[in-house]
Structure 1
């Protein structure tokens, strides 16, 4: 059984990991004025964007996921031939239309795949499961890496489905933003009034950074800490405590809205790296997706893991 895995470009996985494990990407496109940028998880292209004049207007960007037709064409042209079963794990359906588009496309794919497979010499059925990761950024990556791990271990389809169904509600993502003014501008552009001008101004004046928790399709502040670096340090220490307690999967994912050298210099990060190594936890770090940085701003940091012991960061 040839099993394929598909994610969208909002999933913060390293490009090398995506290539090594033959993960297929559904790009998200950003339009900023006359500039059109497709997010293909190219870290150097993303960093080049950050240093461009176009990035100054990123809060005004319009992001567009792969359409129903584009998803259908990708599957019928390639994936139904290359694989017998595909797991398509999308960014949270509460934050993007990727899941809805993939679900709609799946009906046409399952109706129309037979001629393409027969022409390629495959007479067996093709199956597709679209899964809402209920999360975003590095937290979406946690579910994707578990799908890869289970596939590579040779588990059958039912075992993989059941494991992912249990895992997804227990994936915890955390975001520490640098620039609350940017987040307010971005939220306002999208019609989201959750970040008020007063809160942004007060937080920036006092250098208060919210730590935002994402889980099961919901996002909410879980703590407010003075200073970006102290907030990250507290979060890294919390992650170390969860590693010691035992994670649900042997993976911890981190993304950063800039050069990874800056991430490595954050206080407490070296200790987190050592803790992962000591406990056999794979630490996957990457430059944040273009899609992610457009939504939360340059210099933000996200961290995620799976934990079924109801951890609380505060």
Structure 2
């Protein structure tokens, strides 16, 4: 059976990994003032966004994820011909309509694919499975990496689906923002009350940075540190401890909202890399998607891994 993978553009995995596994990216259109960016994980487009130095203006950006019709077209024009089963992994449904759009499109696709395949001389049925990763940005990575591994191992669609749902329910995503005022402005734009004015003012005045966690679709602070670099140290040290404690998927995914060379220089990152090397854990590094930078601000760090339930300790 020919199995394939599709993710939305907010999934922060390296372009080389996406190409290696033939993973299709469902794009998101981002509009900032009079400029339009196609967020499809293209490194050149991400760099163009960074080079424009849009800064504080980006919080007012409009994002347009793939519509139901665009998802239908992508599948019926291409994926139902190239594959017999496709797993679509999306950003958490609590933060984006992408899961809903893909899920709605799947009904039309599964009704229409037979004639498309028949006309192209492609025999047999087609299956489509939509998985909510229940997480954001780099933390969409562990489920995607596990899906790619299981497809390569020729596991059954049923086994893959069951495993991915388990991984999604045990994935922890963390974010360290640089600018709380930006985060609040973006949250206000989206009617998201998770970052209040008082906390933004306090954080900027004292340079206190929250460590935010997304787990099973719920997002909130789990720690706070004075200063971005000490915050990075605390986050990477914590991730290194989790690596040594054991992960459900041998991978830690990290993204940075800017030049990746900065990520490598942040305090604690070398220690995380050492822990991953010693434990045989894959450490993926990727530039944050344009969508991610628009929502959390440039210069932010996101990190994700899958592990058994535990309490965050910062």
Matching residue of 1:306: 306
Match of 2:293 in 1: 293
2: CA distance, partners of 1:77 / 1:141: 27
How do 1:78-157 and structure 2 match up within 5 A?
Answer: 78-157=78-157
Q: Distance in 1 between matches of 2:65 and 2:210?
A: 28
TM-score, normalising length: structure 1: 0.97
- The offset of 1:22, in angstroms, is 0.2
Following the alignment from structure 2 to structure 1, what is the Cα–Cα distance between the partners of residues 213 and 287?
Answer: 20
Alpha-carbon offset, residue 202 of structure 1: 1.1
**What's the CA shift for 1:196?**
2.2
Alpha-carbon distance in 2 for matches of 1:260, 1:196: 30
Q: What's the CA shift for 1:53?
A: 5.0
How far did 1:7 drift? 0.3
In the alignment, which residue of structure 1 is the partner of 2:216? 216
CA 1:256–1:53 in structure 2 vs 1: closer, same or farther (change >3 Å)?
A: closer
Aligned residues: 314
The corresponding residue for 1:25 is 25
Q: Secondary structure at the match of 1:63?
A: strand
CA distance in 1, matches of 2:54, 2:226: 30
Shift of 1:120: 2.3
Shift of the 205–27 alpha-carbon distance from structure 1 to 2, 3 Å rule, reads same
CA distance in 2, matches of 1:193, 1:164: 30
Tell me, which stretches of 5 or more residues in structure 1 are unaligned?
Answer: none
2:194–2:220 Cα contact (<8 Å) kept: no
1:287 Cα shift?
0.5
Report how far residue 51 of structure 1 moved. 2.6
Gap change, CA 1:109 and 1:80, over 3 Å in 2: same
1:186 is aligned to 2:186: yes
* Structure 2 match to 1:67: 67
The 1:41–1:155 alpha-carbon spacing in structure 2 relative to 1, beyond 3 Å, is same
| Shift of residue 277, structure 1, vs aligned partner | 1.1
Cα distance in 2 between the residues matched to 1:277 and 1:154: 27
**For structure 1, which segment, 228-237 or 72-81, has the greater mean C-alpha deviation from structure 2 after superposition?**
228-237
Counterpart of 2:15 in structure 1 is 15
Shift of 1:141: 1.3
2:253, 2:283 within 8 Å by CA — same for their partners in 1? yes
Q: In 1, Cα distance between the equivalents of 2:53 and 2:24?
A: 31
- Whole-Å separation in 2 of the counterparts to 1:311 and 1:149: 28
Partner of 2:226: 226
The change in CA–CA distance for 1:56 and 1:210 in structure 2 (over 3 A counts) is: closer
**Whole-angstrom CA distance in 2 between matches of 1:225 and 1:27:** 35
- 1:264 corresponds in structure 2 to 264
Please give the per-residue CA displacement for 1:69-91, whole angstroms capped at 9, x wherever unaligned.
00000000000000000100111
Mapped contact 2:37–2:49 kept (Cα < 8 A): no
| TM superposition shift of 1:56 | 4.2
What do you get for the CA RMSD once the two structures are aligned?
1.1
Provide the rounded CA distance (Å) in 2 between the counterparts of 1:182 and 1:46.
19
Cα 1:231–1:55 change in 2 (3 A) is closer
User: 1:36 maps to which residue?
Assistant: 36
Unmatched segments (≥5 aa) in structure 2: none
Equivalent residues of 2:38, 2:45 under 8 A apart = no
Separation of aligned partners in 2, 1:154 and 1:126: 16
